[in-house]
Amino acid sequence: MEIDINELVEKSGVPRRTIHFYVQQGLLPPAEGAGLAARYSEEHLLRLAAIPVLRRRGLRLDEIRREFQQRTRAQLEELLHAAERERRKSETAPWQTQNLLRYALAPGVELVVDARAPAEVRKRVLRLLEQSKIIFST
């Protein structure tokens, strides 16, 4: 697969200026060709996807450059798959790990409370439920 800079920007979501900066810094290989004939590959897309993952892990650009020199394409792909798994897990984990109490206040309106909330909070929730009956009964 070979794409031009506009397609690379569109597919990666990374601005053209940043792509050129990454090439200058050695994070991305230079394009094949120059000017309007410059072509970019899947390797460019892969690295552009991996850079923010590695940045979130605290790596500086020079450390990311070394990572790219040491890792194979398959290792970079696995890094991205692992990051996606972590992202999905972090999105669902709070709801899966908590014991939640759900109170229907009205059709389409629900109050969700952590069952491990302190007693004082539970008392306030009971008062809130009483008030919600008044509010939603009109």
Is residue 112 predicted with pLDDT exceeding 70? yes
Note the pLDDT of residue 79. 94
CATH number of 5-95: 1.10.1660.10
Global confidence as pTM: 0.65
Map out the domains of the chain as residue ranges: 5-95, 100-136
Checking 1-4 for CB contacts under 8 A at 24+ apart, the result is 1/41, 1/42, 2/32, 2/39, 2/40, 2/41, 3/39, 3/40, 3/41, 4/36, 4/38, 4/39, 4/40
Between 49-63, 91-105, 113-127, the lowest mean confidence (pLDDT) is in 91-105
Note the pLDDT of residue 92. 63
Average pLDDT over residues 11-35: 95
Computed on alpha carbons and rounded to an integer, the radius of gyration of the chain in Å comes to 25
Both tokens assigned to 43 = 């390797």
Please, what's the b/e burial string for 120-129 (b: 16 or more CB within 10 A of its CB; e: otherwise)? eeeeeeeeee
Note the pLDDT of residue 11. 96
